[in-house]
Structure 1
Amino acid sequence: MDVSASADQKDVEWGPFERPLFSDPSVRHLSRVGVVDVGSNSVRLVVFDGAARSPAYFYNEKIMCALGAGLSETGRLNPEGRARALAAIKRFQLLAHGMEATPLTAVATAAVRDAEDGQDFVDQVHRETGLRINVIPGAEEARLSAQGVLLGWPGSYGLVCDIGGSSLELAEIKGGQVGRRVTSALGPLKLREIPGGRKGRRAYIKQVVAELLDQMGSQRDRLFLVGGSWRAIARIDMDRQAYPLHVLHEYRMSTKAIRATADYIRESDLNELRGRCSISSARMELVPFASEVLTEIVSAFRPHDIAVSSYGIREGMLYQQMPQALRDRDPLIEACRFAEAKDARLPGFGRTLYKFIHPIFRAAKPEKQRIIKAACLLHDVTWRAHPDYRAEVCFDNATRANLGGLKHKERIFLGLALLHRYRNKREGTSFENLYGYLTEAEQLQAEILGKAMRFGAMLWLEADAIPGEFRWYPKKRVLELRLSEAAWPLLGEVAMSRLKSLAGSLDATLDVRMTR
């Protein structure tokens, strides 16, 4: 048997991991796995864990090495950056061993693939650490980044724009598939070496973006922004608009906002802005160049809307290995199921609770039904928090947790529903500045959902035992409750008080009966 041929086949089948991560399509849990991303500007270790379809960041560390600094002039990796990158990888190897996340998988992008000493660096890393770095071409980098977006937004359509230190990749996605892909030298490390100052850069950027437009064609759908420089610009946009929910994933920006933020960056004291937005000095040096690129891209491609994605190449590597049956699952629901199984007092009751309260929300659209289901799965996962703070912990967890497939408004709705799971009134919390992002009708709907869960949680029998049945007649404003004889003793004073509070929010008359 040809051993090398067998190894090559394994590489093709499993990609950089060289081993199956999701061998069973029915898998719910991801065994701990570590990825090292050797970029042109930073070297990062991410260790994934948690729900297979919605992996969480067990550990995440980034070192700004600027491997690609000066590459256009010297053709070689930045010597100081190379030393820092090697030291970082040695540290990451030790950390991963302690976390039981070995063997690590490593990929390198533009700087290493373009530098004349890139292979020498790869060989040195392997010699001194045992870690084998996979150097991926630009088209593959674009594909993996696009797959990372699909991990968070199944079935998405639009254009994925991934900016690194030395390159910028574009990939189109449609119906869960990656289409055309291109790479370019529009990374900010290279742009700052373009002669002619800002005028020279603008001419160069305009020319390259025009070429990208010719290759990719008109793209009027959503633009997904992947990469640290885009996330830094999003942070600054949040600062400019005093946006209170500092979650970068799914943050939306308009073309008008991007232009305004580019002006804001140009007119601001960068040191002051850096400190206010918690951006590293190394990253902040590149932000003005990146903002010039983004302004030209949105002007040329004219996207319908613009969304920031925290998922990129590393998540795309996981997505590549997922069986289709796993890809087809909802990442939000999978993450909530995992949280319930790990932290709830009665795992499995969330599904029963959803079935019990569903008649009240029968008219809700499918996109709202999934949020209701997520709330039911999460309704009890923060029970360990002190009772005085449990409601706020619920809200904070929902709005800031690593949950994929959630718009910011949906995060706030979910958080408000879970807050009402533990308290009747939403006034007097530290999150009141976020409520205004929902309409009054949406706030009331979240309140009703929370109170329905608050009452339903009083009717525990067994995880899969439905205690009774709600019937909701919105035109008559009548809420009927039919409780089984076995569940009837659960309708004590506190439970009855919660039921009346739910009816009050529905502006409904109560009709409660026991069924035999």
Structure 2
Amino acid sequence: MSWHKGFRTEPPKYRPVSVVDIGSNSVRLVVYDGLRRSPSPIFNEKILCGLGRGVATRGKLAEEGMTRALAALRRFRALSRQIGAKHIFAVATAAAREASNGAQFIARAEKALGCGIRVLTGKEEARYAALGVIAGIPGADGIAGDLGGGSLELIDIKDGKLREGVTLPLGPLRLMDLSGGSIEKARSIIDEAFAKAGILKLLKGRTFYAVGGTWRNLAKLHMAQSNYPLHVLHCYRLTRQQAMSLSGLVAHLSPSSLREIREVSKSRSDTMPYGALVLERLLHHAQASAVEISVYGVREGLLYSRLPPRKRNSDALLSSCWDFARRYARSPDHELELCDWTDQVFGEGKLPESEEQRRLRYAACLLADIGWRAHPDYRAERSLSMISQAAFVGIDHPGRVFLALTVFYRYDGQGEESDSLTRLLGDEDHQRAHLLSSLFRLAYILSAAMPGMLPKIGLKLGENKTLVLSLPKKLADLSGERVEKRLAALAAEIGRSGRVVIGGRA
């Protein structure tokens, strides 16, 4: 049975769903294109209300913050209605659950938003954040840390399951209140909390998955410093030393200095030193191997938790690539046939391939025709930018570049833009991208991107180091100079010679 049996080939329908996150620092609306395995944001708005400012010292939500938050929620209700979202999932976190007037604020907020609002406990917040990490990085193995304005949630993840978790009172707004604006006093507060956090011992030799806007801004700054060629935050990795060095530096910068840095959001200039300090001290207390950014967090974890098990267990990357094929390819059915057709030369007894390489091959097949509507001179560049910049999850940066370059080469692309990305690929993966592109180029001149043809055409590794293309007699006219030329180019990629046989596979 084919791995893609049951795939629906009609374009995916938009069934917008809204998620409202009432945090200690910001109130945010994200409208996604549906309750799906890899939801894409179609609208995203954040209002910095500072609800949690002063809660640690006064114990109450400030009137100004509540007024701004309620206005934002009324706007979010109107926007959700305008976009057509039939469901609004709303949650509130640390500030609302800890403030003495939190319950009264939530009652007013529910009236403004027009739906119920779930006030998450610390454990629930940690759980949803970790589910978000699992949704976006299925192979995650380490500790997920979600830094909000009022708290830090830490939870252990392994083999797709959630383990020990803890909530610590270390959000930047809380630290600013408790320390009176002193970074040195904040350091003592952080160190005291981390010294008692046994979960950090579980981080030794593993990855710390960083969730939250403050840490995303740190990653953006590091990307700029290192002239990184791919501006995608999800799955961006820093070594422990890189993360400690950068966060230690930012922790001692003034808000005015941070406002001068283009890569840093000006709205976070006050809180960012404290968030950076939390990361620096966490890495000081724990022996993590690396820090990896997850753009998925509580909101995505909430949606992920509502999926049926079958959808939760589906492949996030292949789900996204299939959506791309259904929207942009001439024939989605053809791309599924291309997956099966390329199976003829990969696997046991054929060209060697790992499970991850096979997965990426299938993803490349699904994306192979997304540039066809562009002018022929721009198909390569369009495909390169679409794939390298797509909101894919379930794939690391080298894998993303591999997919982008494979389709880029399929359109015979070349240029400086692709050259800068190749530094993220090893030689073996780069050669494999060229190999798959040659395979695709052969397939498309045989099938003209239409379904029903590839299943009739054979391709196999023959004797005496040959690569044999088999055409049934009814399709003999498909053979010709261009087919032989592309078969020869493909065969040369694997050190073989091409041979066309008429009267083979039917």
Q: Which segment drifts farther, 134-143 or 101-110?
A: 101-110
Contact 1:420 1:454 in 2 (8 A): no
Among residues 236, 251, 275, which one is paired with 1:290 in the alignment?
Answer: 275
Among residues 445, 451, 456, which one is paired with 1:462 in the alignment?
Answer: 451
Q: Deviations over 1:365-391 (max 9, x none)?
A: 111110010000111123222222111
Amino acid corresponding to residue 84 of structure 1 in structure 2: R
Task: Report the equivalent of 1:110.
Answer: 94
Contact 1:154 1:327 in 2 (8 A): no
Task: Report the equivalent of 1:55.
Answer: 39
Task: Report the equivalent of 1:218.
Answer: 202
Q: Structure 1 residues 492, 147: CA separation in 2 closer, same or farther (over 3 Å shift)?
A: same
Q: Which segment drifts farther, 356-365 or 332-341?
A: 356-365
Q: Structure 1 residues 51, 72: CA separation in 2 closer, same or farther (over 3 Å shift)?
A: closer
Give the drift of 1:190. Answer: 1.0
Q: Structure 1 residues 493, 92: CA separation in 2 closer, same or farther (over 3 Å shift)?
A: farther
Q: Quick check: 1:230 aligned with 2:215?
A: yes
Amino acid corresponding to residue 307 of structure 1 in structure 2: E
SS at match of 1:166: coil
Q: Structure 1 residues 289, 300: CA separation in 2 closer, same or farther (over 3 Å shift)?
A: same
Task: Report the equivalent of 1:499.
Answer: 487
Task: Report the equivalent of 2:3.
Answer: none
Q: Quick check: 1:159 aligned with 2:148?
A: no
Amino acid corresponding to residue 477 of structure 2 in structure 1: P
Contact 2:190 2:281 in 1 (8 A): yes
| Structure 2, unaligned runs of 5 or more | 1-5
Contact 1:51 1:338 in 2 (8 A): no
Q: Structure 1 residues 47, 141: CA separation in 2 closer, same or farther (over 3 Å shift)?
A: same
Q: Distance in 2 between matches of 1:188 and 1:484?
A: 69
Give the drift of 1:66. Answer: 1.5
Q: How many residues align?
A: 488
Contact 1:154 1:328 in 2 (8 A): no
Among residues 366, 383, 387, which one is paired with 1:394 in the alignment?
Answer: 383
Among residues 42, 45, 58, which one is paired with 1:74 in the alignment?
Answer: 58
Q: Quick check: 1:436 aligned with 2:423?
A: yes
Q: Distance in 2 between matches of 1:209 and 1:356?
A: 54
Q: Distance in 2 between matches of 1:367 and 1:507?
A: 24
Q: Distance in 1 between matches of 2:184 and 2:134?
A: 37
Among residues 286, 305, 314, which one is paired with 1:320 in the alignment?
Answer: 305
Q: Distance in 1 between matches of 2:255 and 2:56?
A: 25
Q: Deviations over 1:201-232 (max 9, x none)?
A: 111111101112x2564333221111111111
Contact 1:26 1:326 in 2 (8 A): no
Amino acid corresponding to residue 198 of structure 1 in structure 2: I
Q: Quick check: 1:355 aligned with 2:355?
A: no
Q: Distance in 1 between matches of 2:482 and 2:46?
A: 50
Contact 2:484 2:498 in 1 (8 A): no
Among residues 164, 170, 175, which one is paired with 1:180 in the alignment?
Answer: 164
Seq. identity, %: 35
Give the drift of 1:478. Answer: 2.7
SS at match of 2:321: helix
Q: Distance in 1 between matches of 2:24 and 2:291?
A: 25
Alignment RMSD (CA, Å): 2.4
Among residues 210, 217, 224, which one is paired with 1:239 in the alignment?
Answer: 224
Give the drift of 1:78. Answer: 3.1
Q: Deviations over 1:335-391 (max 9, x none)?
A: 111221222111111121122223443311111110010000111123222222111
Q: Distance in 1 between matches of 2:117 and 2:156?
A: 27
Q: Distance in 2 between matches of 1:313 and 1:126?
A: 19
Amino acid corresponding to residue 146 of structure 2 in structure 1: D
Contact 1:416 1:446 in 2 (8 A): yes
SS at match of 1:388: helix
SS at match of 1:31: coil
Give the drift of 1:165. Answer: 0.6
Q: Structure 1 residues 215, 263: CA separation in 2 closer, same or farther (over 3 Å shift)?
A: closer
Contact 2:57 2:178 in 1 (8 A): no
Q: Deviations over 1:283-326 (max 9, x none)?
A: 12211111111111122221233211011111111111222222
Q: Distance in 2 between matches of 1:494 and 1:283?
A: 57
Contact 2:38 2:393 in 1 (8 A): yes
Q: Distance in 2 between matches of 1:310 and 1:244?
A: 19
SS at match of 1:44: strand
Task: Report the equivalent of 2:393.
Answer: 404
Task: Report the equivalent of 1:377.
Answer: 366
Q: Distance in 2 between matches of 1:295 and 1:166?
A: 18
Q: Distance in 2 between matches of 1:263 and 1:83?
A: 35
Amino acid corresponding to residue 505 of structure 1 in structure 2: E
SS at match of 1:123: helix
Give the drift of 1:459. Answer: 2.2
Task: Report the equivalent of 1:203.
Answer: 188
Amino acid corresponding to residue 388 of structure 1 in structure 2: D
Give the drift of 1:330. Answer: 0.8
Q: Structure 1 residues 45, 128: CA separation in 2 closer, same or farther (over 3 Å shift)?
A: closer
Amino acid corresponding to residue 319 of structure 1 in structure 2: Y
Q: Quick check: 1:471 aligned with 2:444?
A: no
Q: Distance in 2 between matches of 1:493 and 1:415?
A: 29
Contact 1:155 1:176 in 2 (8 A): yes
Give the drift of 1:92. Answer: 1.3
Q: Structure 1 residues 52, 179: CA separation in 2 closer, same or farther (over 3 Å shift)?
A: same
Among residues 443, 446, 453, which one is paired with 2:440 in the alignment?
Answer: 453
Give the drift of 1:44. Answer: 1.1
Give the drift of 1:477. Answer: 4.5
Give the drift of 1:274. Answer: 4.7
Q: Distance in 2 between matches of 1:274 and 1:358?
A: 53
Among residues 101, 124, 132, which one is paired with 2:116 in the alignment?
Answer: 132
Question: What does 1:250-329 correspond to in 2, within 5 Å?
Answer: 250-266=235-251, 274=259, 276-329=261-314
Q: Distance in 1 between matches of 2:319 and 2:286?
A: 34
Q: Distance in 1 between matches of 2:128 and 2:183?
A: 32
Task: Report the equivalent of 2:476.
Answer: 488
Give the drift of 1:83. Answer: 2.0
Among residues 32, 37, 48, which one is paired with 1:64 in the alignment?
Answer: 48
Give the drift of 1:504. Answer: 3.7
Give the drift of 1:57. Answer: 1.3
Contact 2:248 2:277 in 1 (8 A): no
Give the drift of 1:272. Answer: 6.2
Contact 1:340 1:348 in 2 (8 A): no
Among residues 344, 350, 353, which one is paired with 1:364 in the alignment?
Answer: 353
Give the drift of 1:276. Answer: 4.6
Q: Which segment drifts farther, 129-138 or 199-208?
A: 129-138
| Structure 1, unaligned runs of 5 or more | 1-24
Q: Distance in 1 between matches of 2:25 and 2:35?
A: 30
Contact 2:374 2:382 in 1 (8 A): yes
Give the drift of 1:271. Answer: 5.2
Q: Distance in 2 between matches of 1:332 and 1:241?
A: 27
Q: Structure 1 residues 78, 463: CA separation in 2 closer, same or farther (over 3 Å shift)?
A: farther
